[in-house]
Structure formats: structure tokens, C-alpha cells
Structure 1
Amino acid sequence: MIRATIAAALLLTGALAHAQEAPKGDYAEVNGMRMYYEVSGQGEPLVVLHGAYMNIPAMGQIIPMLAQTHTVYAVELQGHGRTNDIDRPITYPNLADDVAAFMDAVELEKADVFGYSMGSAAALQLAIRHPQKVDQLVAASVSYDMAGAQPEYHAMIPTMTPEMFVGTPMEDEWKKLAPNAEAFRPFVERLIALEHEPMAWQEDVKALKHPVLIITGDADVVTLEHSVAMFRLLGGGAMGDLGNPLPASRLAVLPATSHTAVIGQANLLHAFIEPFLKGEAPKGMFDN
């Protein structure tokens, strides 16, 4: 499934190549890693963070679509894509600190940030740990507490072993870009350990001052109740008419959408993300 997703993403990205200049790839020295990134488009800066076991191509068509109106900095995180792995746990605080250091390395003082899955949790931690680096945050398939994951996912975590990934098409895809093709097993071990990391960020989320767009599938790995609870922590969920101003944060639910189907719906994602980043909202009948 992952292999097919990556292949489809590559095809979609290629379909838009004729309409835009090719992204410019480079490396930044970040916390002992050579972090690979690509810059594309023009406009206000937007940092894009992929999900676990993914890379820039696997994010698909949404990157070139966002690059039509933004300068997109797409990053490959520790051990992913062309960024080398290091002997350090993969944790959300570590990933967030890496992104902050990357922004310093490329002299990016502040930016909007869009993260998906693992990348959305890293983006959330970036806003918590380095609030001055983040302007607006788009978090797709995000959780702020492991209690918000679906029961089926909770049940699966204790059963995860490297053997579920080693020797599979996922390893073949990973090796195509990896600086060290022999390092897949320790990389997988780090990502499995990430699933066991404590996650209870309710008070940190409640204290955020950034506008946040939460995007979730209606059959995502995160429960709908958890996404709504996060929206309420950010000041959302009240009636917007009768003189009540809309909150700065927003919630979007993609219909008939599982976790892995979220990132493939670029048109829907773009339709939610672009107005949010521009501060645009639909007008109600009582609005001037």
C-alpha cells in the first residue's frame, strides 16, 4: 500500500512539473545530520513536514499546489528520504528542534507550517517549543494525546516489530533515497519506539496563540472526538453568528477518508489550507 502511494505521488508531482520550475534541492547541516530539503514557488514562506516512513515525493501534489502562492520549504526529517539517520531517538521534541535548527540554517526567521501525521505532531511541538518560529499552523491527522488514537491503533502498537517492515516493499522504497541503504532496521526501531513515547500536550495546546487549522479524515487514526476536543482547546466550536466572531483556528473533516487517504486528496486539502493561510472565511448572512 505504501509503495503504491509513493508511486502515485511521484506521478502526480510529475504531472505538474511542466507548470512550475523544478524544486531546488539542497542540504543543511542540522544537529549532526545533513538534512535534505527542497525549495519551490514564490510568496510567503511555508515549511512542509511529511509523515512517518515518507519523504518529499510521497507528499504528492499538495506541495506543487501550495508552491503556486508560497515559497515552500519541504523538509526530509531524521532518517527519512535523503536525510541521514543518527544515533538518537526519533521523538517529536527532537524533530521540532531539528526543524527550528533547519530554519536557522536557511535564515528563515518565521514561517507558516504544514505537517501531516508524524510531521503534524512535530509541527505542533515546533509551535509549543519554538513559538517565535511559527506564524500559522496547518496540522493534518494530528494528535496531542495518545488517548485520542483509535482503539484499534492502541491495540496494534504493542504488536509492532521491525520484521513487519524489514524485507518488505517499504524497505525497497526507503533504500532508493537513503544515504545508507543498510540502516533501515535501526531506523524502523526508532519509529516503533516513537509510538511508545508519552504524549500528553493538552495544556501546551491550550496555551498556543497561533491560528491552527486541524485537518482530519472521518475514519482517521485519530478519533473525531479528539479532533473536536483539540479545536475547543484552541477556542473553536462556538456559534459564529449573532455577533460572535469566528475563532482564528479552524477544523476541517474530510469525508470517507482514512489516515493514509488524507494526503492524497490534494484538491480538498488545498481548498482548506489556502483560505486559512490568507485569513479568508465564508461570509454569513449577518456579516457586513
Structure 2
Amino acid sequence: MIRFAAFVGALLLTTTAFAQSEPVGQAVEVNGMQMYYEVSGEGEPLVVLHGAYMNIPAMGGIIPKLAETHKVYAIEFQGHGRTNDIERPVTYPNLADDVAKFMDAVGIEKADVFGYSMGAAAGLRLAIDHPEKVDQLVAASVAYDMSGSQPEFLEMIPTMVPEMFIGSPMEEAWKQYAPNPDGFRPFVERMIALEHEPLAWGDEVKALDTPMLIIAGDADMVTLEHLVSLFRLKGGGAPGDMGKPLSTSRLAVLPATSHTAVINQVDLLHGFIEPFLQGETPKGMFE
């Protein structure tokens, strides 16, 4: 999603991943890199996009849960996990194009997409730049404008330097999977640069027809006001018992939940995601 990348990455990498069945892992050439991905489950395709500094295992139990009813394609972005880094900036348009090219390479014409944090922003950019690729979008902890970030995070961005991460447990965790274990500094430099990239997609989001499930914690790195603004841009927030159809998009706020706690609440996440992907809505008194 938004670029809290550097701030939350270390925490996410040190959390214990949920046990999951063995998926099929392989790599495919995408934009000059060998992109690693894993396929699990059967059904309609669902592309899963992890957060900054994360990898597939760090997404935990939500992937095998979704694989019970979908054919899940979980990828690892540039420089993350087992995908090699390349001499190219990490930007949301670049990440989105990588996903589009990945889908072409493995023969996915169109799919549902679930992204978390940086992956959610990449998924949103994918829907904007390649709308023909995205059927429905689940975006957990995402912002469409940098002004929607918590003030504390905005104050932190100018202080970010590679030395905050080099030599830390985060670097050791990154090296476990990295094709080039000596490439951590340039990778971190690219990720810090991502925090400074412009992010102001309001007009593009408003014009977007893709149904969207917006998920966030009530103590996330995005303000609650911004989440409501995003939901309203997607046509949500009107009364549902007064004759007008519901918006195709939805908003779910997880209680007592920080940014890093969002992805670990597997059953709660799944309880929101699966009905959305299946097009199921609760019935009101007048239906």
C-alpha cells in the first residue's frame, strides 16, 4: 500500500509465518528479472501481492486460506524474497507493470487481485494502468494520496537512511532468500526512494470502474478519514435501504488493529475477502 515500507518492514519480517501446505514455486522472466512466484489451490485466478520488505512466507496464513477456493498466484516483487533486484527504481508504476507482465507470462488474462501495504498500492496502480487485467481488487492498508498517511509517518520519511536497516536482523532475514546476499544496501536505497515518490491518484481512482474492497486497521498507517474518502471515491457511503443499489466497492475496518496486525488476522480477513470475491452481500429488511 502506501509506502510505510521501511517503517514496518522489519517488524513484518520477524513475525512467524503461519503453517501452510507446500505450493508449487518457480520463476519466470519479467522485465529483465527472474520473478519468483508460487501457485496453490484450484479455481478462479487470484494474484496476491505482498508488502514492502516482505516475501510470500511473510504473508502468513491468508494465502493457503484463499487457496481453498481460488487458484492463488503469489509473487515476490523486485528485490524481495527470491526475485533478484535490478538496476531500476522501485516505483508503483514499475511494480504494476511487473504484475501485468507476469500475468502475460503465465497466461492469466484477467484475475482478482489481493494486495497488502505496498502490494495494495501496486494493485491499485495495476487497476489504473491495466484495467483489463483486474476483475476485483482487495486492497489492505492502502492510500491513494500521500496526504492520507498518518502525520507521524510523514514526519519519519525524511529521516530514513540505509543505516537504519543495514546490519539489523532485517538484513539477515532478507539474505535468507536473496539471490544476491550482498545487494541489501542498493535494495534499501531503492525502497527509501519509493517513500519520496509522488502519490496523488484521486482523479484516477474516481474514474476507476474496478470493484474494490478496502481493508485497514483502525490504528493503521492511513488515517480513518482517508479510508472513508477512498470509499466515497468508489461510490460508497450512501444509505443502502433507500432504493439505491449498493456500491460495488466495500469498506472494512478491523478493530484494535495496527498496520502490522492487519495481515495476521486470517479468519477475519478471509471473512471479508471471500464474500466480496463471490459477490455476496448481507440481506437487509427490505430485500
Per the normalisation by structure 1, the TM-score is: 0.95
CA deviation digits over 1:10-41, x for unaligned, max 9? 3x1x2x43xxxx20001010000000000000
Alignment match, 2:145:
145
CA deviation digits over 1:92-149, x for unaligned, max 9? 0000000000000001000000000000000000000000000000000001000000
Q: Is the 8 A contact 1:6 1:57 kept in 2?
A: no
Q: Is 1:267 paired with 2:267?
A: yes
In the TM superposition, 1:9-28 aligns within 5 A as 9-10=16-17, 12=18, 14=19, 16-17=20-21, 22-28=22-28
Alignment match, 2:198:
198
Q: Is the 8 A contact 2:141 2:220 kept in 1?
A: yes
Amino acid at match of 2:221: V
Other structure's SS at 2:261 match: coil
Other structure's SS at 2:99 match: helix
Q: Is the 8 A contact 1:112 1:135 kept in 2?
A: yes
Amino acid at match of 1:49: L
Using the alignment, how far apart are the partners of 1:5 and 1:87 within structure 2? Answer: 25
Using the alignment, how far apart are the partners of 2:116 and 2:235 within structure 1? Answer: 22
Using the alignment, how far apart are the partners of 1:3 and 1:220 within structure 2? Answer: 16
Q: Is the 8 A contact 2:43 2:71 kept in 1?
A: yes
Q: Equivalent pairs: percent with the same residue? A: 72
Between 241-250 and 80-89, report the one with greater CA deviation: 241-250
Consecutive unaligned residues in structure 2, runs of 5 or more = 1-7
Q: Is 1:72 paired with 2:72?
A: yes
Amino acid at match of 2:233: L
Which aligned segments of 4 or more residues in structure 1 are displaced greater than 2 angstroms?
Answer: 1-10
Using the alignment, how far apart are the partners of 1:28 and 1:200 within structure 2? Answer: 32
Question: Compared with structure 1, are the counterparts of its residues 249 and 257 closer, same or farther at alpha carbon in structure 2 (3 Å cutoff)?
Answer: same
Per the normalisation by structure 2, the TM-score is: 0.96
Alignment match, 1:86:
86
Q: Is the 8 A contact 1:219 1:259 kept in 2?
A: yes
Using the alignment, how far apart are the partners of 2:211 and 2:16 within structure 1? Answer: 29
How many residues were matched structurally?
280
Task: Tell me which of the two structures has the higher relative contact order, counting C-alpha pairs closer than 8 angstroms and 6 or more residues apart.
Answer: 2
Alignment match, 1:164:
164
Other structure's SS at 1:261 match: helix
Question: Compared with structure 1, are the counterparts of its residues 47 and 9 closer, same or farther at alpha carbon in structure 2 (3 Å cutoff)?
Answer: farther
Q: Root-mean-square deviation (CA), in Å?
A: 1.1
CA deviation digits over 1:178-213, x for unaligned, max 9? 000000000000000000000100010001111000
Using the alignment, how far apart are the partners of 1:7 and 1:198 within structure 2? Answer: 29
Using the alignment, how far apart are the partners of 1:121 and 1:2 within structure 2? Answer: 15
Q: Is the 8 A contact 1:9 1:59 kept in 2?
A: no
Alignment match, 1:114:
114
Using the alignment, how far apart are the partners of 1:96 and 1:6 within structure 2? Answer: 23
Amino acid at match of 2:34: R
In the TM superposition, 1:171-182 aligns within 5 A as 171-182=171-182
Alignment match, 1:127:
127
Amino acid at match of 1:112: D
Alignment match, 1:53:
53
Q: Is the 8 A contact 2:28 2:34 kept in 1?
A: yes
Q: Is the 8 A contact 1:9 1:61 kept in 2?
A: no
Amino acid at match of 1:159: T
Other structure's SS at 1:115 match: strand
Q: What displacement does 1:9 show?
A: 3.8
Question: Compared with structure 1, are the counterparts of its residues 223 and 103 closer, same or farther at alpha carbon in structure 2 (3 Å cutoff)?
Answer: same
Between 24-33 and 1-10, report the one with greater CA deviation: 1-10
CA deviation digits over 1:135-176, x for unaligned, max 9? 000000001000000000000000000011100000000000
Using the alignment, how far apart are the partners of 2:284 and 2:23 within structure 1? Answer: 39
Using the alignment, how far apart are the partners of 2:16 and 2:250 within structure 1? Answer: 27
CA deviation digits over 1:223-275, x for unaligned, max 9? 00001000000000000002221110000000001111111111110000000
Consecutive unaligned residues in structure 1, runs of 5 or more = none
Alignment match, 2:223:
223
Question: Compared with structure 1, are the counterparts of its residues 5 and 151 closer, same or farther at alpha carbon in structure 2 (3 Å cutoff)?
Answer: closer
Amino acid at match of 2:148: G
